[in-house]
Structure 1
Amino acid sequence: MRKKPALLIGLAAAAVLTAATPAGAVAPASPAQAPSARVCPQLDKNLPWHGDNRARLQKMIDERGICSKPVPGPEGRPVAAFDWDNTVVKNDITDATLAWALKHDKILRPKSWKSTSAWLTPAADRALTAACGTSVPVGKPLPTSRNAACADEIMEIREKERTMSGEPAFAGDWNHRRTVPAYAWIPQLFAGHTPAALTSFAKQARAEQLAAPIGSKQTVGTHTIAGYIRYYDQQKDLIRTLKAAGFEVFIVSASAEPIAEAWSSGVGLDRAHTIGIRSVLDRGRLTTGIQGCGDVRGTRGDALPFMDGKRCWINQEIFRIKGAEAWRQQDPAHRIALGAGDADTDVTFVKDATGAHLAINRNKSELMCRAYDNADGRWVVNPMFIEPLPRKSGAYPCSTTGYVNTDGAPGPVRRADGTVIPDQQDRAYGVVSS
């Protein structure tokens, strides 16, 4: 997809800035803007947070934002990064967009299903070909609104990475901390459309999802999935307060970037502050190729904004760190101040934050192991703000299988010093309190 413009703002003291300066860097406050003369932006006290989480986040905002001393620091504005699905909103915008597209015949028939993903198995290729047929010309819309079998195969591969008959849909080698073939497959399914068209599909799905009552379900083929999405009021308020306090705020999502852009404006963020899966374009249209990150330059989808890949995309796009170095944790001056996520897909960048690690509890092992271990005392754990999960039965398996290695094998979750995190009990669950 398009190359986003760098957001660096030239400063009179530009000679002291490094190439890693966060996007949108601004000069330190002048004497007329002394902290004592400012009103520190405040989180809305009428919105309920779990325990003392609001106060802890407010403290971080006060310390790192325009009320800090010095303000905002010699390297520019502090940065906050949020995952999207189930972090800023309840439920999944990719699922919603795919469901809408299948109901409205927006998937174009590929030349072959195998060509959509380097990891798609022959079994999945056969199942999709049999279900979706070959009578529709290549590049024309498949009638998925009427062909439940075709819609079912696509949904089953999206949800469970298998065919309707239970055969694996993806196989081969990939780094399990950098990509998931099923995640890459969604933007690959929309090859042939323009980015603007995909954003339009997402906006139409957005309108339907926001209008549907909380708790609604929808059926696609024979699959039943969530039928509503809501912005979390607390996260909208947190983003608003961070921006008012001088933070540069970004969304970093494993959704296709045109889909994420259809939603991010709802929390006051523009396209330049929305990072998602970026497709390679051909004459202005999406292809099955996906842009890499750091020193990963292939187009299979080996470096998505997923787990360790989110760190790479943040380092590359926000801090302008290039090549293999983008995969490494940076020094505190070149890391985000706040990271927010809900799943193991977010754990690396949330852990990188220097001011606060906000974990929305969906019972995901590595994230919650690190959150409850709270090694640096800066983890903030909150139940989901809508329909929170009850307490997890049993402990998180931190000491044995909570971590996913690059080959997909489970292992123990370790702290920065190499020690193993002991199993953790769930402690932030159920109905949120004010």
Structure 2
Amino acid sequence: MNLKRRCTAAAAVLAVAGAGLLGVQATAEATQDARPKAEKCPTLTVSAGWYGKNRARLQRMIDTYGHCGPQRHKGGTKPVATFDWDNTVIKNDIGDATMFWLLRNGKIRTPERGDWHTTSRYLTTTAAKTLAQACPATRATLPTHRDTACADEILSVYTEGATTSGEAAFAGFDHRRMEPQYAWLAQLTRGWSTRQVQQFAAAARKENLAAPVGAEQKVGSHRVTGWVRYYDQQRDLIRTLKKAGFDVHIVSASPEPVAEVWGRAVGIDARHTLGIRNVTARGKLTAHLKGCGTVRDGDDSMITYIEGKRCWINKEILGVRGAAAEKVQPAAKRQVFAAGDSDTDISFLRDATGLRLVLNRNKNELMCRAYENGDGRWLVNPMFIEPKGRKAEPYPCASTGYTERDGGQGPVRRTDGSVIPDQRDTVYGTPTASSGS
């Protein structure tokens, strides 16, 4: 190693020590500044849009844990990387895109016996009655492509969690395991096969990628978002991680057949895609959902949402079964890297042992933990397309940043129970937009 390279590596070690980062992994990562094995390691190629040293730190992680790095896994096991999908790998939401397509094309089945309670155990009586009035059960498939009132009511319950008259549509769920609006989309695909839902998702994907950035579409009497874009930066990151030998997975709170369709374009196959899973019967999807941990199939009380994402990762990726899947696993068994953008991702992000990439969408709990950065492993980046500006007020970490199981709000706490102080928004702006498709 020449003198310049030795000095660079030594400076990196001193910088880590001065910053107080803890653990062998942090030290190993920091000493990769000089990339002594760069000629053997795949390299990130997209530089635009990355904030500060984020791209360099991601590259050092790849150099450290990839098949060419000093921390590479032994015995043939691969380091695991987990990505949320909506607004993490893409801009906008594939669940929304699919729901809007279903409504515009009249592809939602009439509920069993005309009873909307059969579509979600958490649907309120008021919402069920309102939906029944707006969507008469006169045919097997609801004509939402021409029945504006029916389309508007379903759209309101899905997007707002309330009826068009403002009444709460869902109640009685664990807010750390379930988002009934997300689950409802999967449940409303009942009566179709997985292949048919994938075809619907593919049609929605084609429309949303073809539409210009900022486009809207009409659903019922409303104008809603009508475009989606892949982030070039995340495509590049996923491609590089895979080339370096990482086992890369998508973990989405959208229906799994929908996420599978979208994941193909970034090289993620069905075996590496986790989403909301329906119970099937006679080759058709039902309105009941698969369970995880202590939650049985058909109980419909946990999806890939906050703690549910941890459970599904532990179960399907890390091979942990039963009640243990709901618990934090030993560090050696957990994912090395995770990426997300919302409070729904907080548990599986915290579980990552190497780095945790956060796209800033001003989500309270996530940004409280990311900005506090207690172990030095959090990376905050503005969204790559249409990033949010600076949040004027500090994040309310010490008071209302955390969502309790009953939906109440409280302080965001560290593992030891101490409260994280309010955090100011410091990573924002307008990085170069990507127009990838």
- Structure 1 length-normalised TM: 0.89
Q: 1:271 to 1:49 in 2, by over 3 A?
A: same
1:67-146 equivalences under 5 Å are 67-74=68-75, 76-111=77-112, 112-136=115-139, 140-146=140-146
- Comparing 412-421 with 284-293, greater Cα deviation is found at 412-421
| Correspondence for 2:160 | 160
Q: d(CA) in 1 for partners of 2:183 and 2:399?
A: 29
| Aligned partner letter, 1:283 | R
Match of 1:150, SS? helix
Q: Is the 8 A contact 1:75 1:333 kept in 2?
A: no
| Residue 60 (1) aligns with residue 61 (2) | yes
Match of 1:340, SS? strand
| Correspondence for 1:24 | none
Match of 2:40, SS? coil
| Aligned partner letter, 1:162 | A
Q: d(CA) in 1 for partners of 2:91 and 2:224?
A: 13
1:411-430 equivalences under 5 Å are 411-430=410-429
Q: d(CA) in 2 for partners of 1:188 and 1:219?
A: 23
1:101-250 equivalences under 5 Å are 101-111=102-112, 112-136=115-139, 140-172=140-172, 174-250=173-249
Q: d(CA) in 2 for partners of 1:310 and 1:365?
A: 18
Number of residue-to-residue matches in the alignment: 396
Q: Is the 8 A contact 2:46 2:236 kept in 1?
A: no
Percentage identity across aligned positions? 54
Note the C-alpha offset of 1:130.
1.1
| Correspondence for 1:399 | 398
Q: 1:286 to 1:122 in 2, by over 3 A?
A: same
| Aligned partner letter, 1:275 | L
Q: d(CA) in 2 for partners of 1:106 and 1:269?
A: 27
Offset from partner CA, 1:56-96 (integer Å, 9 cap, x none):
11111111112212533347100000000000000000110
| Aligned partner letter, 2:191 | G
Q: d(CA) in 1 for partners of 2:330 and 2:378?
A: 19
Q: d(CA) in 2 for partners of 1:68 and 1:45?
A: 21
Q: d(CA) in 1 for partners of 2:37 and 2:187?
A: 52
Q: d(CA) in 1 for partners of 2:413 and 2:75?
A: 33
Q: d(CA) in 1 for partners of 2:85 and 2:164?
A: 29
Q: 1:58 to 1:202 in 2, by over 3 A?
A: same
Q: Is the 8 A contact 1:360 1:384 kept in 2?
A: yes
Q: d(CA) in 2 for partners of 1:229 and 1:74?
A: 40
Q: Is the 8 A contact 1:49 1:433 kept in 2?
A: no
1:337-352 equivalences under 5 Å are 337-352=336-351
Q: Is the 8 A contact 2:38 2:63 kept in 1?
A: no
| Aligned partner letter, 2:157 | I
1:3-22 equivalences under 5 Å are none
Q: d(CA) in 2 for partners of 1:215 and 1:368?
A: 26
Q: Is the 8 A contact 1:50 1:433 kept in 2?
A: no
| Aligned partner letter, 2:265 | G
What's the RMSD between the two structures over aligned residues? 1.5
Structure 1 residue ranges without an equivalent (≥5): 1-34
Match of 2:359, SS? strand
Note the C-alpha offset of 1:50.
1.0
| Aligned partner letter, 1:251 | I
| Aligned partner letter, 1:322 | R
Structure holding more helix per residue: 2
Note the C-alpha offset of 1:301.
2.0
Q: d(CA) in 2 for partners of 1:432 and 1:55?
A: 16
Q: d(CA) in 2 for partners of 1:76 and 1:298?
A: 30
Q: d(CA) in 2 for partners of 1:45 and 1:208?
A: 26
List, as ranges, runs of 4+ consecutive aligned residues in structure 1 with deviation greater than 4 Å: 35-38
Offset from partner CA, 1:198-252 (integer Å, 9 cap, x none):
1100000000000000111112112322110000000000000000110000000
Q: d(CA) in 2 for partners of 1:116 and 1:206?
A: 25
Match of 1:363, SS? coil
Q: d(CA) in 1 for partners of 2:71 and 2:141?
A: 57
| Correspondence for 1:8 | none
| Correspondence for 2:45 | 44
Note the C-alpha offset of 1:324.
1.0
Q: Is the 8 A contact 2:81 2:336 kept in 1?
A: yes
Match of 1:255, SS? strand
| Aligned partner letter, 2:52 | G
Structure 2 residue ranges without an equivalent (≥5): 1-35
Offset from partner CA, 1:103-156 (integer Å, 9 cap, x none):
1111111122111111111111111111111322xxx22110100111111110
Match of 2:196, SS? helix
| Correspondence for 1:382 | 381
